[in-house]
Chain A
Amino acid sequence: MHKWKEMETRLALPAVKVTVEQQLCKSGNSGVISSSLPELPVIVEERFPELPDSQLIPMDEMRNLLVSPYSPYVSNTGNAQNLHSSPSGFSSVFHHPPIVPHERHGNTNNTAINAGNSLSTYSCKGAFQASIDNFSKDSAEVAWSLDSVQGILNSDDDIPGSNPIQSSSVMITDDLNKKKEWWTNIENEDWKEILNDTTIVESQSKVVYPAAQTSPNVSILHSQIYQSIPCHSGDLIAVTSPLSTTTVAAKPRMRWTPELHECFVNAVDQLGGGEKATPKGVLKLMKVEGLTIYHVKSHLQKYRTARYRPDSSEGMSEKKATQSEEIPPLDPKKGIDLTEALRLQMEVQKRLHEQLEIQRNLQLRIEEQGKYLQVMFEQQCKSTMNKFNTPSTAEEPSSVSSDPIDMAAKTDTSINSKGAESSKQTATKRKMPELDPSNPSNADAIIGCRFFSLTLRWWQVLGKPFQEVV
């Protein structure tokens, strides 16, 4: 029960998702998968709305699902480190049917499977591993009251007929009918075809953030030759929800790039234009791994809106070529004033943009420097500790304490000691207690560390005049 509650906390998700996680928890597992189930989201609901949603999947099934040979979601701890900080939420960008015929029960099954799907295409299975780690680490911490979670869930709008938490304590029920229903639904779905078309490559680097820039292939698209040019897009990014806990992200989110868009436009043109092209057709033509029909659909919609509005106004003005158009011909003076105004507007905008870029770079640098100083500090502390753990001579303490000075002195003065924030001092203080002051050599270590923190503080004070330099 306790764990169950923890699960809820960590994932303030619509009831559907919570259901799954609770169930997983209940089956007495370490809730391994749970934190990686975020975006199961509304996909489940969109696709299988008719299925009731209070079913359970035994944990074992879940595991089997995940290690199914069919899809490559075997957890690969290789990338775990990199992705440790990455969100356990993946956009369910990639819908690949599991096709692992275990017992399936309605909605939850789909949820689970989609989760598995998400996992598979989120090629960094390390993330999966990482989220496991995350979860087991944090599980001890979090205990949430049922009410607050309920509150959160209730405020979530996009769940049709949402399941109150209580009902999710339904145990696994065997329901063959639902199983069949679900199965036929899967078979009917487009994405099965898509799966057959696309191949899942394990070494996809798609998940990298920010977008890897264009592949050279796509630049060929500039030529007006409409062949089916494969759009090898390293640009397809699974946009993940942030940070350690998952948040609600109802739709699969994807980050488009101009190159990808060109590919899209080409495909559309090949199919006879925005009106005639269908998402399915476009998807097939584009041949971009990981792109789903949902992405194409929404993009196509946007495309149509953007295209056919100005077009119609243009078309109209073409018809009334002889009449005065929508914009009556201005006399030269007005025209020039107008252009002047536009220019002015442009200037101001440019200026703002410039400043924004500068500001952003500054912010990045500030954080970098802060990190750098912190690392240096920790290293210094560590080496100080080490030195005093080994039998030390009288000279060493002094050499250690002089080191921080050197180090600090070498620090770039123009940085204005950004790293020296209170957290470091806190960190220092936290480290202190580990040493036993009664031991003389340890006392020196303490002095060394303390001295170092003082030095940092000194830079703090001194650093203020340097702020203008930046």
Chain B
Amino acid sequence: MKFGKKLRRQMEDTLPQWRDKFLSYKDLKKLVSLISATQPPCSKAEAHFIHFLDAEIDKFNTFFVEMEEEFIIHQKELQERIKRVAEIYGVGGSQPLEEKYEAEMRKIRMEIVNFHGEMVLLVNYSSINYTGLAKILKKYDKRTGGLLRSPFIEKVLKQPFFTTDLISRLVKECENTMETLFPAVLDQYQTGEGGERTLIMAEQVFRNTVSALVTMKELRKGSSTYGHFSLPPLSLSLPDLDLLQSCMLPSPITIV
């Protein structure tokens, strides 16, 4: 599958409010064709191309930074909530009430998992846009004989949307929080008896995540233009991935 299609599929699967924030790969491709068709690399055309790319990058940056900000806020809020719930309803709290505690914790857990998922999807967003940019630049250089790719990519690497360290950090913190939140009793149920498992796919997030993984896997498969700047194939043993995919129901069941 070509990148354009993969990108499109990702965009369809993604959270609706993100749909227009991705790279306009198709348009850029058209532009490249246009540029290469007319004449040998003209600096005016190149400037236009660069301008387009800059606009896209700006779009990514704005979106990314804004989402990042929201995640920071949200994460803090979750932490506060956990503390509060524990203080009030937890053991030794001001109104210890196990049922209430459990209920609240369940809510929080769900939120955290979705929150985690959203963050990971943002990282994925960053990655896929970067890939698209790299590809289109490669195309440009190939078709116009230009030398745009290297210096441009260098700058892209420094852009906020690509510097995902903070988000990764938040993700890890989230995972740690999850560790503490999940009741230890669950380990008993983790045996291989998957037969009766009810896979309740509640959220778009989950579907998106799976979709993202699949896309990544396919993107990394060898292609005709596999070259020196290409990534190696995704070595990911995910038999579950196919199972998950097949289990993904068209209309997700919401967890009440």
Chain A contacts for B158, CB-based, 8 A: 209-210
Judged by a CB distance under 8 angstroms, whether B166 is at the interface is yes
Chain A contacts for B206, CB-based, 8 A: 345, 348-349
Interface residue SS majority, chain A: helix
Closest to B153 in A: A367
Judged by a CB distance under 8 angstroms, whether A423 is at the interface is yes
Q: How many residues of B contact A (CB 8 A)?
A: 102
A306-B70, A345-B113, A371-B154 known; A362+B231 contact, CB < 8 A: yes
Neighbour of A242 across the interface among B58, B109, B149, CB < 8 A: B58
> Among residues 21 to 72 in chain B, which have CB atoms less than 8 Å away from a CB atom of chain A?
43-44, 47-48, 50-51, 53-55, 57-58, 61-62, 65, 68-70, 72
The answer to whether A340 touches B76, judged by C-beta atoms less than 8 angstroms apart, is no
Closest to A360 in B: B127
The answer to whether A339 touches B228, judged by C-beta atoms less than 8 angstroms apart, is no
**How far, in whole Å, are A302 and B66 apart by their CA atoms in the complex?**
10
**How far, in whole Å, are A327 and B107 apart by their CA atoms in the complex?**
8
The answer to whether B44 touches A345, judged by C-beta atoms less than 8 angstroms apart, is no
The answer to whether B44 touches A142, judged by C-beta atoms less than 8 angstroms apart, is yes
The answer to whether B73 touches A352, judged by C-beta atoms less than 8 angstroms apart, is no
The answer to whether B77 touches A306, judged by C-beta atoms less than 8 angstroms apart, is yes
The answer to whether B160 touches A210, judged by C-beta atoms less than 8 angstroms apart, is yes
Judged by a CB distance under 8 angstroms, whether A350 is at the interface is yes
Chain B contacts for A244, CB-based, 8 A: 50
Interface residue SS majority, chain B: helix
The answer to whether A258 touches B76, judged by C-beta atoms less than 8 angstroms apart, is yes
Neighbour of A341 across the interface among B50, B61, B134, B198, CB < 8 A: B198
Judged by a CB distance under 8 angstroms, whether B1 is at the interface is no
**How far, in whole Å, are A186 and B106 apart by their CA atoms in the complex?**
52
Judged by a CB distance under 8 angstroms, whether B74 is at the interface is yes
Judged by a CB distance under 8 angstroms, whether A245 is at the interface is yes
The answer to whether B76 touches A352, judged by C-beta atoms less than 8 angstroms apart, is no
Chain B contacts for A148, CB-based, 8 A: 48
Chain B contacts for A337, CB-based, 8 A: 197-198, 200
> Among residues 164 to 197 in chain B, which have CB atoms less than 8 Å away from a CB atom of chain A?
164-166, 168, 170-171, 175, 178, 182-183, 186, 189, 197
Neighbour of B109 across the interface among A85, A258, A339, CB < 8 A: A339
Judged by a CB distance under 8 angstroms, whether A68 is at the interface is no
Closest to B185 in A: A336
Q: CB-defined interface of A232-262 with B at 8 Å, one 1/0 digit per residue?
A: 0000000101111111110001111110011
The answer to whether A421 touches B228, judged by C-beta atoms less than 8 angstroms apart, is yes
The answer to whether A258 touches B210, judged by C-beta atoms less than 8 angstroms apart, is no
The answer to whether A258 touches B72, judged by C-beta atoms less than 8 angstroms apart, is yes
Neighbour of B54 across the interface among A245, A341, A427, CB < 8 A: A245
Judged by a CB distance under 8 angstroms, whether A401 is at the interface is no
The answer to whether A256 touches B58, judged by C-beta atoms less than 8 angstroms apart, is no
Chain A contacts for B68, CB-based, 8 A: 255-256
Judged by a CB distance under 8 angstroms, whether A192 is at the interface is no
Judged by a CB distance under 8 angstroms, whether A321 is at the interface is yes
**How far, in whole Å, are A342 and B108 apart by their CA atoms in the complex?**
11
Chain B contacts for A325, CB-based, 8 A: 100, 103
Judged by a CB distance under 8 angstroms, whether A366 is at the interface is yes
**How far, in whole Å, are A340 and B170 apart by their CA atoms in the complex?**
23
Judged by a CB distance under 8 angstroms, whether A364 is at the interface is yes
**How far, in whole Å, are A420 and B197 apart by their CA atoms in the complex?**
51
The answer to whether B234 touches A355, judged by C-beta atoms less than 8 angstroms apart, is yes
Neighbour of A345 across the interface among B54, B156, B205, B216, CB < 8 A: B205
A245-B51, A348-B244, A421-B229 known; A261+B116 contact, CB < 8 A: no
Chain B contacts for A85, CB-based, 8 A: 151, 154-155
**How far, in whole Å, are A257 and B200 apart by their CA atoms in the complex?**
35
Chain B contacts for A258, CB-based, 8 A: 72, 75-76, 166, 170
Neighbour of A336 across the interface among B62, B189, B210, CB < 8 A: B189
Neighbour of B57 across the interface among A144, A243, A306, A329, CB < 8 A: A243
Chain B contacts for A209, CB-based, 8 A: 158, 160, 163
6 closest residue pairs by CB, A with B: A210-B163, A141-B43, A247-B58, A242-B57, A341-B200, A418-B228
Can you sample 22 A-B contacts with CB below 8 Å?
Answer: A85-B154, A148-B48, A242-B57, A245-B51, A247-B57, A247-B58, A258-B76, A299-B69, A310-B77, A327-B106, A329-B102, A339-B186, A341-B198, A341-B201, A342-B113, A348-B240, A349-B117, A349-B206, A352-B212, A362-B231, A363-B134, A423-B147
